[in-house]
Amino acid sequence: MSAALPPGAALPPGAALPPGAALPPGAALPPGAALPRGAGSLAGKVLFISGASRGIGLAIALRAARDGAAIAVLGKTDAPHPRLEGTVHSACAAIEAAGGQALPCITDIRDEAAVEQAVQATVQRFGGIDILVNNASAISLTPTASTPLERFDLMHSVNTRGTFACSQACLPHLARAQNPHILTLSPPLDLRPEWFAPHLAYSLAKFGMSLCTLGLARELSPQGIAANSLWPQTAIATAAISNLLGGAEALRRCRKPEIVADAAHWILTQPSRTVSGQFFIDEEVLRAAGVSDFDGYAVEPGVELMKDFFVS
């Protein structure tokens, strides 16, 4: 018989739900606690994560590291940056402190040869690749007349082309993995004009990532390789918010990256042959997994949260 926590009980941060236990309605599962109801482990898995030196990418890496996963950390920040927290090397140190293994890969995913080099280094170090997380992204929320073509090209090169390039380079190794997954941080394919009119170039680049999910899920289905997208319900406290989208005041209305990481963990531990071609929203994933209290994910609990782009 499964054990159960008392109604309204809360697990402390970082705790795991006891084996066989169920999380009752109203129980709180804070960031870092293990997901309930059969969520598996990423122990022994190899993750290849773009944009993993900070923010959502790092949070996903740390969640996997607590299971004992190995992570290839792709990023461009080799040395401390005045406006960006963390480097590839500090991310690797945090992953190892959390219980995982880490490989620093100073990589610009716009460079095909650099991506291939990172893939080969990962396979040489860890023996393969089980999971690709396409997280790296460039953003410029400018209308058409105010978007230089150089900025347009940057966003498409990083977002859409980078997602395609990393997926293509990892495919031979994913095909040999058990329960292989591609997870892309991109929005649901909702093609309403209001998602495009304010910042057409950025929206095209982000939805290009989602189109990769759509196509890859069908293309790779015979091989049992899952391709899914994940997007936050609310704004997430990242460098983009602090540097570009409102600063400290906007950060108060955000959730922490850990909510996306916990949702990603659930997706990546599902059977790849049955969970594919989906466009997940972080909060919906966690609610379906039994989470009902989200206050622990808020930067400042009680403050009204900002919705993210592309979410009604």
Beta strands in 107-185 (DSSP E): 131-134, 181-185
Using a pLDDT cut of 90, give the percent of the chain over it.
Answer: 77
Cα–Cα distance between 75 and 124 in angstroms, integer? 19
pLDDT at 32 over 50: no
Catalytic member of 126, 164, 202, 280:
202
- 29 pLDDT higher than 70: no
CB-based contact 298:256 (threshold 8 Å): yes
**Average of per-residue pLDDT across 5-14:** 38
> Which phi-psi region, left, alpha or beta, contains residue 162 (left: φ > 0; alpha: ψ -120 to 50)?
alpha
Q: Give the pLDDT mean for 154-183.
A: 98
Active-site residue 297, yes or no?
Answer: no
In the predicted model, is pLDDT for residue 300 greater than 50?
yes
Instruction: Give residue-wise pLDDT tens across range 268-278.
Output: 999 999 999 99
Whether the per-residue pLDDT at 43 is higher than 60: the answer is yes
Within 13 Å of residue 46, how many CA atoms lie on the same side as its CB?
20
Q: Do 42 and 268 contact (CB within 8 A), yes or no? A: yes
What is the average pLDDT score of the chain? 88
The Cα 243–Cα 246 span in angstroms is 7
Q: How confident is the model at residue 39 (pLDDT cuts 50, 70, 90)?
A: low
pLDDT above 80 for 25: no
**Can you read off the two tokens belonging to residue 54?**
């900070």
Using CA atoms, how far apart are residues 284 and 263, in angstroms rounded to an integer? 9
pLDDT, greater one: 124 or 81: 124
